[in-house]
Amino acid sequence: MGIKLVIVGGVAGGATAGARARRVSEDAEVIIFERGEYISFANCGLPYYIGNVIKKRDDLLLSTPEEFKERYNIDVRIFSEVMDIDPKEKIVKVKNLHTGEISTEHYDKLILSPGAEPIRPPLEGVDLDRIFHLRNIPDSDRIKKLVDEKKPRNAVVVGGGFIGLEMAENLVDRGVKTTIVEMLNQVMPSLDWEMASIIHNHLREKKVDLELENGVKAFSKADDRIVVSTQNGRQIETDMVLLSVGIRPENRLAKQAGLKIGTTGGIWVDSTMKTSDPHIYAVGDAVEVKDLVTDFSTLTALAGPANKQARIAADNALGRKSIFAGTIGTSVVKVFDMVVASTGTNEKFLKKHDIPYFVSYTHSASHAGYYPGATNISIKLIFSPGKGKVLGAQIIGKKGVDKRIDILATAIRAKMSVFDLEELELAYAPPYSSAKDPVNIAGFVAANILKGDMEIVHGNEIPDLLSQGAVLLDLRTKFELKHAGKIEGALHIPIDELRNRLSELDIEKKYLPFCAVGYRGYLGHRILIQNGFKSKNLSGGFVTYKAAKIQNSSNTSNE
């Protein structure tokens, strides 16, 4: 008989570890303890089941205990909660949640996959009926039953992360008027503010009531409804509340066992996923791992890394040598008609830790503009000074976002630079891309900055430059000014007239040329500096500037 491997928890981490262990060794005895009813389910699909996008509940069930036994010869024990670990004796204490019976199980190697638990803030009234969180299938059953049977008119979603946004979309699609209450000044904290502002404007277009910089103070009842009292004094009456204010690693068992806990609150593991105990491994949302871009410790609640960590932990527990190098946090989420994706680090983090970086914005068509159906893709690229190493990227658009974020995630993993992005040979046909893919264009723009071919200015820097005498120079057409909007006080000279009208400009002044998305601004910048003028191009053009301005106006109007 081989070693005895006990796994605590199922889903992405535990179930994957079990299946991998069996593929590595037919002789190992493998037991999985899962406190819930389901050993493996698609938790990322839960909002879409509530929204009736996924029609059949059984489609969420990836595998049953019986299937695990039949296919992998693994003993899966559901409704079994591991209450305690004795590392010295290598024993786990297990409670049968049906009978209350306590039993013990010996292990040679142990893999912890407890996941993360939703944060339930200690607010007055937080335990009222119709206040939900969404973590598992029973949670989704309760929410869907209410939506199906009670037909709520409105809902409040507390928190604007992945689950909050997905639930807001699916509730709206079910005809439920939805308000998002978020303490931060933005949704999607993985994004920087000016990129998140694009999503804010889209949410408002979809009639979502967005309460930013406004947390919940308390909940109370009014007949059969809930009153959400916010910190700025607003009282929101609603039929249901979804709490999605974040998660924290479930580290209780690890703490009780005396395992080392990392600075983030996650279970400390080395690159083999081994904890501070040589016989215990840990994987998934509960563990602290290395950020590959910054080398900082981080928590990553994503299914992809959890699956990879589970394979690696199983390998090492059974005598193989596998390494988890770290994470870059690549993610993508659908928000109504938009796709939002990010990878690597963001500007907020780099700024907070005084890590030098540059930023560029590009807005490109998802495929060849002459082929029907092209839509805009907005890319924020973050890169290092000097060698231009890609540090992070954020992309928002309607088509082709997932393809581009995966390319940039691969570039980060391979330690590529923006100069490499210029050279990438990517698949092109008019329905799918352009001869110069949006990723190439992002590389061109970033490389131009590093090579000194273009100096840029960001929207938040403009007020200070204007106060110092700089002049905004709008290079768009008259039609664009009329129909797309304008920046008050900007001098207007269309790009095709600029060379012939340089005599109208003051050689002593600094000009800030801009167009819709930045390309004509770049052309104008090159014309100006080669004729002796001082110039800085507005990165991302009017599109990026306008999105942030609309967001500022919306915030002001909400106050």
- The DSSP secondary structure of 397-447, one letter per residue, reads ESSSHHHHHHHHHHHHHTT-BHHHHHH------TTT--SS-HHHHHHHHHH
357: tokens are 């970086």
**Half-sphere CA count of 400, side-chain side, radius 13 A:** 25
Cα–Cα distance measured from residue 160 to residue 181, given in angstroms and rounded to the nearest whole number? 7
Catalytic residue among 3, 42, 44, 78: 44
For residue 524, what are the contacts with CB-CB under 8 A and spacing of at least 6?
A: 473, 475, 495, 498, 513, 515, 535, 537
Cα 367 to Cα 322, 405, 431, 435, 510, distances in angstroms: 40, 15, 6, 9, 36
Is 121:219 a contact under the CB 8 Å cutoff? no
**Half-sphere CA count of 33, side-chain side, radius 13 A:** 25
Burial of 81 (0-12, 13-18, 19+ CB in 10 A): middle
Residues 232-238: contacts with CB within 8 Å, 24+ apart? 232/559, 236/156, 236/179, 236/181, 237/154, 238/152, 238/154, 238/155, 238/156, 238/179
- CA-nearest of 272, 283, 275 to 258 is 275
Cα–Cα distance measured from residue 433 to residue 485, given in angstroms and rounded to the nearest whole number? 29
Phi-psi region of 278 (alpha: psi -120 to 50; beta: other; left: phi over 0): alpha
3-state SS, residue 210: strand
Cα–Cα distance measured from residue 356 to residue 313, given in angstroms and rounded to the nearest whole number? 35
Residue 515 known to be catalytic: no
- CA-nearest of 391, 372, 374 to 442 is 391
Is 118:133 a contact under the CB 8 Å cutoff? yes
Active-site residue list:
44
